[in-house]
């Protein structure tokens, strides 16, 4: 005959194992949900450049002398590494949340980026 205390510990052990597995699955699934969110960047100052390619001298039309507001953000779609530096390609987002430029490039060192 098995003592009652041993049975209780076995039940507690099984319950704890199931809870641990459920917690691990939740953590993994929440990470997968956030993986699809683009990295968001904000300008470090008003001297950032908006580019049409991964070239520091290839300013996008309409942005040659423009000042980018501090509240503007950039949603990164991909990273491009070149000899001249690291660039992000993506969409420029206005202070109101609308896209004001698509498939543009920024020089990574000129922006503060958070996210994926």
Choose among 60, 101, 108, 103: nearest CA to 81.
Answer: 108
Provide the pLDDT for residue 1.
54
pTM: 0.67
Whole-angstrom distance, CA of residue 54 vs CA of residue 65: 18
Q: What is the pLDDT of residues 77-114, one digit of tens each?
A: 999 999 989 999 999 999 888 999 999 999 999 999 98
Domains of the chain: which residue ranges? 1-35, 39-114
Instruction: Name the fold adopted by 39-114.
Output: SH3 type barrels. (2.30.30)
Encode 82-99: b = buried (16+ Cβ within 10 Å), e = exposed.
Answer: eeeeebbbbbbbeeeeee
Chain centroid to CA 38: how far? 4
Choose among 112, 26, 27: nearest CA to 74.
Answer: 112
């Amino acid at each position: 005959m098995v003592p009652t205390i041993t049975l209780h510990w076995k039940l507690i052990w099984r319950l704890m194992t199931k809870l641990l597995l459920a917690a691990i699955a939740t953590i993994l699934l929440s990470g997968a949900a956030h993986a699809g969110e683009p990295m968001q960047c904000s300008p470090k100052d008003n001297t950032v450049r908006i580019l049409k390619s991964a070239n520091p001298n290839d300013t996008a039309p309409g942005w040659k002398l423009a000042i980018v507001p501090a509240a503007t953000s950039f949603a990164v779609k991909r990273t491009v590494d070149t000899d001249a530096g690291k660039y992000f390609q993506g969409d420029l987002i206005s202070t109101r949340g609308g896209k004001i430029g698509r498939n543009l490039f920024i020089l990574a060192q000129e922006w503060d980026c958070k996210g994926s």
